[in-house]
Structure 1
C-alpha cells in the first residue's frame, strides 16, 4: 500500500528567493530513507490563506503525512501553528508547562544582554506556547517548539532554521502519532549511476531501448539530471526490483562503456581523491577562479594529497608564479595547449607535486575571437615522470557554466591520467 507525504515550506523570504530552501530537500532525503513516497513540495508565503491552501492541496492529493517548515517564531507573520489548528478543526490553547520551558530558554539567552526587558520579550514569545488542543509538543531546539497533530492527514509542524529542524526531526519521527501514520511505508532502495561525455538525448534513447530489453523495467523509477556537466541517473525501486536494476546497469555498461564511470554513486571528486593516495597534486587555473582546487580540497584529509594551487589570470602572473615563458605566450596566445602544458609543468615545479592539472580558457562574456571563441578552454594534466594528457574543448553556456564545466572536465582528465599511470 505504501505511505505518501507532502512538504509545505512556509516563508515569504523563501518564496521570493531571498533565502534558498534547504529544508525541503533535506526532508525529502529523510523520507526516501524511510521508504515514504514524497508526493509534493509546495512553497508559500507567510499568509494564513496561502498556508491553508497549501495544506488543502496536500490533503486533497491523498497524502498520509504533511510536514510543514517555518512560521513558528514570535512575530506577527509567524502563522503556521494557528493555521494548522484551524485547518485541523482544533482550538488553539495555551500550554502552561510549555510556556514555562520557553521562559527558561529565554532567560538563558538573555543573560548575554544585560538590561534587556525580559517581560517584553516573553510577551512576544508567549504565542509560541499556543498549540492545537490535543497535539503532541516537540521540545524546542531554539525557542520554537514543534507540533504533531493527529488526523487524516497527520501534520508535523517543524521550525524553519535548518539546524533546529534537523535536530528536532528524530523526536518527531519517534512520536506514536507519526509512527502510526507511516506504518504502511515501503522499503525503497536507491542507486546512482554517473556518466560523463555523453549527451542527455543519447541517454534518453538508451533508456527507451532498455524499456524493451530489460525485464521488469516498469518496476524502476528512473530520474536523470544534468549536474556539473555530468549525467546523474538515480533509480529507486522496491527490493523485488533488484534483478531488474542489475540488468539495467549491465545494459547501460554495454551501451556506454566509456561514459559510465561510476556504478556505486561515487563522484569523480571522490574517485580522484582515492586515486591520489600516496601522491601530491597541484593546480594552475586561469578562467576557473580556483574551482578545481576547491573541489580537490573539499573533503577531510585533502592536505595529505593537495600540494598547492595557483589561480593566475594575467600573462605576467603566469610567468612570475609558474615560470611560463613569455615568448611562448606571445607565440601561441595565453589560451593554447602549449601554455596549458607550461602551466602544468610550472605547477609541478612550484609545488613539488607528483601530478598537476592546468586550465586556461575564455569564459567570457567577452574576449573571444573567430579562431578562439568564448568557451574555448585548454586543459593539461602532467605527471612528474613526463606522462600526461592535453586537449582543447569548446564548452557551451555563460561564464558560470563554462567555469563549472571546465572544472568537471579537469577532474575527469585527472582521473584518466591517474588510472593510466
Structure 2
C-alpha cells in the first residue's frame, strides 16, 4: 500500500461558500504527483472543537501525513497552529529568529500605511512566531510561516500546517516536501500512472454498461481505480494504476475503443478546447451567437495566443441585431424564425464576411426559461460551422439539438456542442 494522506481545509469563509476552496484540489494534484494516496479532504470552520475533530478523525484513518490549510494569521480566529500543537502534545514556544523575520516583513508593509500603530501590529503578529516545540518552520511567503510537526507512534502522522491564501501555500509546499519529516512520512509512496479518456455524445448509462462488461472481461480490472465524471455533456474517464498494471489498462482502453470509438475524442487527456486551438492554427475564426451570451467567444479566447486565430465575435439577440450586424435577411427570419437552421447558416455566413474569416461558428437558440413553443421547446439550439476554402463558397455543417436543463445548462452545453462540431469540421469528419 502506498503512503496515505489527508487534508484539512479550515476557514469559516470557505465552509460557508463565501470563498471557494482552491487548496484542497491543488494539494490533491501535488500528492498524486508524489505517488501519495489521498484518502480524505475535510472542511471545517474556525472553531477549536471542529479543528480538533478533523485531526482526530484523520489520525484514526491509518494515514502517514496530514496537511492543513488556513488559520495561520494574527487574528483571534487563526488558531490552527495552536490546535495542532495541542493535538500533538507539544508546547508552543516563541521562535525569536522567526519573530524578527516577521517583524521585518510587517515593518515593510506598514510603510505603505502611515498612521498605523506599528507596535500594535507587531504585537498582533507575534503570535505567528509561536510554533510547536520540535517543529520545522517553513519560512513565510506572506507574513504567516508554516510548520511541519513530525509524527510519532503515540500521536500519529506527520502534520504539515500551511497558510490559507493559495499564493502563499503553493510556493511553501515545495519547502514542506523537502523536510526530513515529510520525506520520512511518504517514504512508502508508490509511483502511480494516471490516464484520461474523454468522450462526447455518449450517455453515462452507456459507459456504465461498458465498464460492467469490462469488469468481467478485463484481466486485472480490480487493480484499476476508475473515476468517471459527466461535465458539460462530456464524459471524462480517469484511470489510476500502478505501472505493473499497465496491461490491464491497455485491455480496458481496447474495450472502450471497440464500443465507443466514435465518441472518444481524446486518449491523452487533452480537452476539446486544446484540440480546437491546435486545429485553428493558420486559420481565422469568427463567432456569431445568440442565446449563449458570448460564452463561446469567451471560451475560445480563454488561452494565451488566441488572438492569432480568433478574429472576433458578435452576440446578437434581437432580430434587428442579426440583420444589422450579421446581414441576416429579415425575410429569412420571418419565414423560418430566429431559431432555425437557415438563420444559423446566415449568421455564420455573415460572421465570415464581417470579420474576413475563413472559419465561423454560429449558435441561435432558446435557452429559457420562457419563449419556447411546442415545435421549438426551451433548449432548442441550432448550430452551424462554416469553412471557406480558397475563396470558394463556404462548406456548412449544420445541426439542431434540444438540450436539457435550465438557462445556464443550455448555454454551457451549447458551447460544448459547438466546440465539438468545430473540431469535427476541422478534422474533415463532418
Q: Give the TM-score normalised by structure 1.
A: 0.99
Question: What is aligned with 2:96?
Answer: 96
1:247 aligns with 2:255: no
Q: Partner of 1:299: helix, strand, or coil?
A: coil
From 272, 278, 283, give the equivalent of 1:279: 283
Instruction: Determine if contact 1:307/1:351 at 8 Å carries over to the other structure.
Output: yes
Q: Which residue does the alignment assign to 2:50?
A: 50
CA–CA distance in structure 2, aligned partners of residues 15 and 143 of structure 1:
23
Paired residues for 1:5-20 under 5 Å: 5-20=5-20
CA–CA distance in structure 2, aligned partners of residues 248 and 388 of structure 1: 37
**d(CA) in 1 for partners of 2:76, 2:115:** 25
Output one character per residue of 1:355-410: Cα deviation in whole Å (capped at 9) or x when no partner.
Answer: 10000011111111111111000000111242121010000011111100000000
Q: Please name the residue that 2:220 is paired with.
A: 216
CA positional deviation for 1:115: 2.4
Which residue number corresponds to residue 197 of structure 1? 201
**For 2:270, which of 246, 249, 266 is the aligned residue?**
266
Matching of residues 79-228 of structure 1 within 5 Å: 79-151=79-151, 152-228=156-232
In structure 2, the residue matched to 1:345 is 349
Q: Secondary structure at 2:164's aligned position in 1?
A: coil
Do residues 376 (structure 1) and 380 (structure 2) align?
yes
What corresponds to 2:397 in structure 1? 389
Tell me which of 238, 241, 247 is aligned to 1:237: 241
Give per-residue Cα distances to partners, 1:295-319, cap 9 Å, x unaligned: 2111111111111111111111111
Q: How does 1:352-371 map to 2 (within 5 A)?
A: 352-371=356-375
Residue 251 of structure 1 aligns to a residue whose secondary structure is helix
- Worse-superposed segment, 108-117 or 173-182: 108-117
Q: Which residue of 1 aligns with 2:411?
A: 403
Offset from partner CA, 1:113-137 (integer Å, 9 cap, x none) = 1222110111111111111111100
Question: 1:90 aligns to what SS in structure 2?
Answer: coil
Task: List 4+ stretches of structure 1 deviating above 4 A.
Answer: none
**Counterpart residue number, 2:2:** 2
The runs of 5 or more residues in structure 2 that have no matched partner are none
Asked whether the 8 Å contact 2:10–2:51 carries over to 1, the reply is yes
- In the alignment, the residues of structure 1 paired with residue 125 and residue 63 of structure 2 have an alpha-carbon distance, to the nearest angstrom, of 32
1:273 counterpart SS class: helix
CA contact (8 A) 1:388 1:417 kept: no
CA distance in 2: counterparts of 1:387 and 1:417, whole angstroms: 9
| 1:330 pairs with one of 315, 328, 334 | 334
Distance 2:222 2:73 in 1: 45
User: Partners of 1:278 and 1:227 in 2: how far apart?
Assistant: 30
Q: Which residue of 2 aligns with 1:24?
A: 24
1:320 to 324, 345, 367: 324
Matched position secondary structure for 1:420: coil
2:311 alignment counterpart: 307
Q: Is the 8 A contact 1:379 1:390 kept in 2?
A: yes
Residue 423 (structure 2) aligns with: 415
Q: Is the 2:285–2:357 contact (alpha carbons within 8 Å) kept by the matching residues of 1?
A: yes
Whole-Å separation in 1 of the counterparts to 2:213 and 2:396 = 37
Structure 1 position 100, deviation (Å): 0.6
Check whether the contact 2:199–2:235 (CA below 8 A) recurs between aligned residues.
yes
Quote the Cα distance in structure 1 between the aligned partners of 2:293 and 2:59: 47
Unaligned runs of 5+ in 1: none
Deviations 1:41-80 (A, max 9, x none): 0000000110000011111111110000000011100110
In 2, the alpha carbon distance for the partners of 1:312 and 1:141 equals 47
Cα RMSD for the two superposed structures: 0.8
Offset, 1:110:
1.0
Q: CA–CA distance in 1 between the matches of 2:266 and 2:219?
A: 23
